[in-house]
Structure 1
């Protein structure tokens, strides 16, 4: 306990920044992933192709390489200067959005074909059919795997520690300078991550029970 209590400032700052990275990246990844997922099932070939290319390229690229591009390559493009935390959010968003898109696409495929046909029969165009009829059912169907995607995102935030972002992954390095035992620090970091993952799992179970009753 001494390691935790004597360095509460470092732990608090690290996990606060982790929470910011996670929440902001999760929101943007959900938005972008929903758009890309819609493109993947679009009746327009160009839209499907764009979604497929984006997902296949980004999802098959290691997250560390995406971070390397934004930290070392982006500044050379001569665009607006962005801080490391903002670049980390962009990298995490673009990477996670591909998994959100594929998870959502799987959920869309579970919606009975008759639902889409009924929507078209009453005159709804594709976008309205998708947003009003198909997506609400798809989100309910993919809640467990979607939470798994966000759990992976939470753990992926530790990659940012290697790129000068002071989050939970950097706690061990910071405390090693204070002479704290590395194994104890890592155990505390791991414990907090286990608690956070358990919290996400509890949210998942809550919505599963709620929507199961609704269905």
Structure 2
């Protein structure tokens, strides 16, 4: 099944990162953290195709949203230049990067734009009052590049702990630095044996973190879910 959806809003989320919101048809249903294919119009070629994770939550009824870094690719340039009201086509919703009802403790480890699928899940959990304890380890070069930072920090508290890890931090940063390693996981996720891990980001980062979790920390492979964000 496919849906024709008009572009409703563009939102600057961080340096070089934007969210694109489209009006949501009533019969477009999805689970938090899933991904979809989108076709956008392009003169001379007809349509351009890409896939994105939802950064919106199913609880946000009026729109669907995805968030991306604006690169110099034909698709990204065309997308960024689309006037509001332009129709795109959404198709083929897939994916299992989703908090399930049986999961009482989870940890998201996200690199850069990989935060989108996590934000979808975290927003869903907050809106529904889901009985799940979430830890988010969010890795970026610096805070300026951390999409959804203010929202996620605002949601932190009972049921959600947010830890920013910066590889090129701003002056005066006192939090953790470098890359995700076994020491950071032991420090910020001390109950890792009780958690399901969701890892998302560029493929090299995802593979490195998965290796750390399984080989260095000792997390069971069955307890690690991954989502690769290609092109970053």
The answer to whether TM tops 0.5 is no
Bigger share in helix: 1
Q: Which of the two has greater strand per residue?
A: 2
TM-score of the pair, normalised by structure 1: 0.25
Which one scores higher on RCO, CA 8 angstroms, separation ≥ 6? 1
Q: Which has the larger radius of gyration?
A: 1
